[in-house]
DNA sequence: TCTGGGGTCCTAGGACCC
DNA sequence: TCTGGGGTCCTAGGACCC
């Protein structure tokens, strides 16, 4: 089993097309330019934390810190390139996230695993410009742990193989703080700390009863994996997703129903397009709006209802009107709303829905309409056509002050080589 | 003044049934 | 005052991941 992880992926993507960012501290900001979601090694060295609010980063102005708005079209496209290169090196690949993949290494002789991993690493670097590191282990959790060590250690040169020598396992686990184990988050790490469990090794030695009681069934699986029993198998063909969500923090809070409905309509439209692209239909819609959770001086609330959609559909008009009804029916005028979103639930493949004897005959007109709309958006870009009029400068629109061009996904942004 | 977005799974508790 | 036992299903919330 092998995990391959890009290093500081978003920051690395930005650097591929702007070499002036090399060796400089670079931070990529979340949507709305809110907080740090990716940091170059130099930014980490400055002590910048993941999730640190952007306004607190001004103190690094004199350190040459570069703040960039996030550019997900670019990262998504670069990710696809990296995955395509990785796929040529293994008979099976599970794309786990935008910057991580799990590869099947059966067939590579054990003695060659590390040198082979370094070859993959060099190839990805050369063909895409993205640096990656590789961890090899007998289970997914141990491979992830190996990957972390590969990133940390200079000597490892980007690849660590925990299967090479069984004697390495104990020191590797002892060097890993329990909170850095895959599956152990903040809450679980705190419980472990109270019980005197500090390292991955301590956790692996803990009694099953304590683990089940305090960390649940999931925690127990993590521990089994640390002990070398594979619980999570490779999944080359992940199934359809079960829900989809489009949500945004507003640029500024709003207090009127019209603004929240305008935002929700836009999110519902995007979410519907998302599930259509995957050939799915929704059985329920939930729209929601929340107040600003950081404003301790203001009253907090969340509104929204889950409304069934029968039969399931992915047509924008039906989804938008249901999302609006969800907000209207739960509306409370006394709050200032800072964030809203639309969830599509109970996703199914339309061909899997049993025929309803009493349903009115389906019209193929709305399907044809959606195909036409999606086709226009694909050719002309988002915003070329849509449902209803939406003010591009509305208060609720997100901020995004310094976004890099979409170098690889928009003709207008194509980099130009100078003679 | 300013704090992301999009997922999964599990669990506890309530509603309801006999 | 005393007031069963055992299921199922659903949902909200909490934990985790990136």
Chain B bases closer than 7 A to any CB of the protein: 1-11
3-state DSSP assignment of residue A242:
coil
Strand B-proximal residues of A, range 203-222, CB below 7 A, are 216-218
Residue that the structure tokens 């390292």 belong to: A199
The per-residue pLDDT for A157 is 93
Calculate what percentage of chain A has a pLDDT beyond 70.
Answer: 98
Which residues make up the interface with nucleic strand C when CB must lie under 7 A? A 96-100, 144, 181-189, 218, 306
A362 pLDDT band, cuts 50/70/90, is low
H or E element, residue A391: none
**Minimal CA–CA distance to A9: which of A30, A33, A29, A39?**
A39
Distance CA A382, CA A388 (A): 14
The per-residue pLDDT for A42 is 95
Distance CA A248, CA A387 (A): 19
Distance CA A130, CA A82 (A): 8
The per-residue pLDDT for A367 is 85
A357 pLDDT band, cuts 50/70/90, is low
Cα separation values, A414 from A115, A125, A380, A404, Å: 36, 21, 16, 12
Distance CA A274, CA A255 (A): 28
| Average pLDDT of every residue of chain A | 92
Prior bond to A417 cis, omega within 30? Answer: no
Distance CA A215, CA A218 (A): 7
pTM strictly above 0.85:
yes
What lies within 8 Å, CB to CB, of A64 at 6+ separation is A24, A25
CB of A246 under 7 A from strand B? yes
What lies within 8 Å, CB to CB, of A103 at 6+ separation is A1, A2, A3, A4, A86, A89, A90, A92, A93, A94
Cβ atoms of A200 and A173 within 8 Å: the answer is yes
pLDDT tens, residue by residue, A250-270 = 999 999 999 999 999 999 999
Token readout for A1 is 């089993």
Chain C bases closer than 7 A to any CB of the protein: 11-12, 14-18
**Minimal CA–CA distance to A279: which of A370, A147, A406?**
A370
* Nucleotide B4, nearest residue via CA and C1': A30
The per-residue pLDDT for A37 is 96
Mean pLDDT of the A389-411 span: 84
Q: Tell me how crowded residue A155 is: count the other CB atoms within 10 A of its CB.
A: 6
Cβ atoms of A357 and A213 within 8 Å: the answer is no
Query: Nearest nt (C1') to A249 (CA)?
Result: B4
Q: Is the pLDDT of residue A363 over 90?
A: no
String of DSSP letters for A321-378: HHHHHHHHHH--TTS-EEEEEEEEES-B-GGGSPP-TTSPPPPSHHHHHHHHHHHHHH
**Minimal CA–CA distance to A396: which of A293, A290, A302, A317?**
A290
The per-residue pLDDT for A419 is 62
Mean pLDDT of the A138-149 span: 96
Q: Is the pLDDT of residue A173 over 90?
A: yes
**Minimal CA–CA distance to A255: which of A299, A297, A287?**
A299
Q: Give, in Å, how far the C1' of B11 lies from the CA of A218.
A: 11
* Nucleotide C12, nearest residue via CA and C1': A306
Q: Please indicate whether residue A366 or residue A199 has the higher confidence score (pLDDT).
A: A199
Q: Is the pLDDT of residue A239 over 80?
A: yes
Q: Is the pLDDT of residue A289 over 80?
A: yes
Residue that the structure tokens 């199934």 belong to: A239
* Nucleotide C14, nearest residue via CA and C1': A187
The per-residue pLDDT for A310 is 85
Q: Tell me how crowded residue A91 is: count the other CB atoms within 10 A of its CB.
A: 11
Distance CA A100, CA A303 (A): 35
Q: At what angle do helices A365-380 and A316-330 cross, to 10 degrees?
A: 90
CA atoms within 13 A on the CB side of A356: 10
pLDDT tens, residue by residue, A67-125 = 999 999 999 999 999 999 999 999 899 999 999 999 999 889 999 999 999 999 999 99
String of DSSP letters for A95-161: EEETTEEEE--TTS-GGGHHHHHHHHHHHHHHHH---EEEEE-SSHHHHHHHHHHHHH-TTTTTEEE
Query: Nearest nt (C1') to A239 (CA)?
Result: B8
Calculate what percentage of chain A has a pLDDT beyond 90.
Answer: 76
CA atoms within 13 A on the CB side of A207: 4
Query: Nearest nt (C1') to A37 (CA)?
Result: B4
pLDDT tens, residue by residue, A51-64 = 999 999 989 989 99
Residue A314 CB-density burial (10 A; 0-12 exposed, 13-18 middle, 19+ buried):
buried
Lowest mean pLDDT segment, chosen from A169-173, A201-205, A306-310: A306-310
String of DSSP letters for A32-74: GG-BEEEE-HHHHHTTPPTT-BGGGGGGGGGGT-EEEE--HHH
């Amino acid at each position: 089993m092998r995990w391959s992880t890009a290093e500081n992926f978003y920051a690395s993507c930005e650097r591929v097309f702007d070499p002036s960012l090399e060796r400089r501290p670079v931070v990529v900001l979340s949507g709305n330019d809110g907080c740090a979601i990716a940091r170059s090694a130099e930014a980490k060295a400055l002590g910048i934390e993941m999730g640190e609010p952007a306004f607190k980063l001004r103190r690094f102005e004199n350190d040459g810190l570069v703040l960039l708005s996030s550019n997900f079209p670019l990262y998504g496209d670069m990710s696809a390139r990296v995955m395509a290169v990785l796929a040529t090196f293994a008979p099976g690949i599970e794309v786990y996230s935008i910057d991580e993949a799990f590869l099947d290494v059966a067939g590579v002789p054990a003695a060659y695993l590390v040198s082979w991993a370094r070859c993959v690493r060099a190839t990805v670097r050369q063909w895409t410009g993205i640096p990656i590191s590789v961890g090899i282990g007998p289970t997914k959790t141990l491979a992830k742990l190996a990957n972390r060590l590969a990133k940390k250690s200079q000597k490892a040169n980007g690849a660590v193989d925990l299967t090479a020598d069984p004697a390495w396992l104990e020191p590797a686990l002892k060097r890993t703080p329990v909170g850095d184990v895959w599956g152990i988050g903040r809450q679980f790490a705190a419980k472990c700390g109270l019980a005197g469990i500090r390292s991955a090794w301590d956790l692996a030695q803990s009694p099953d009863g304590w683990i089940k009681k305090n960390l649940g069934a999931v925690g127990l699986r993590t521990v089994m994996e640390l002990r070398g029993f594979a619980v999570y198998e490779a999944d080359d063909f992940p199934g359809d997703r079960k829900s989809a969500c489009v949500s945004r923090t507003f640029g500024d809070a709003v207090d009127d129903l019209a603004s929240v409905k305008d935002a929700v309509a836009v999110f519902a439209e995007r979410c519907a397009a998302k599930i259509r692209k995957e050939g799915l239909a929704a059985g329920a819609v939930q729209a929601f709006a929340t107040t600003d959770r950081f404003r301790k001086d203001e009253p907090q609330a969340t509104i929204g209802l889950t409304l069934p959609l029968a039969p399931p559909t992915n047509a924008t008009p039906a989804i938008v009107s249901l999302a609006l009804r969800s907000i209207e029916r739960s509306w409370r005028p006394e709050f200032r709303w800072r964030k809203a979103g639309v969830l599509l639930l109970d996703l199914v493949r339309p061909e899997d829905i049993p025929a309803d004897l009493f349903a009115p005959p389906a019209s193929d007109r709305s399907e044809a309409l959606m195909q036409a709309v999606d086709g226009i958006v694909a050719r002309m870009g988002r915003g070329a056509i849509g449902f209803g009029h939406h003010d591009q400068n509305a208060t609720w629109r997100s901020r995004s002050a310094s976004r890099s061009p979409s170098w690889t996904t928009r003709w207008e942004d194509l980099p130009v080589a100078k003679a």
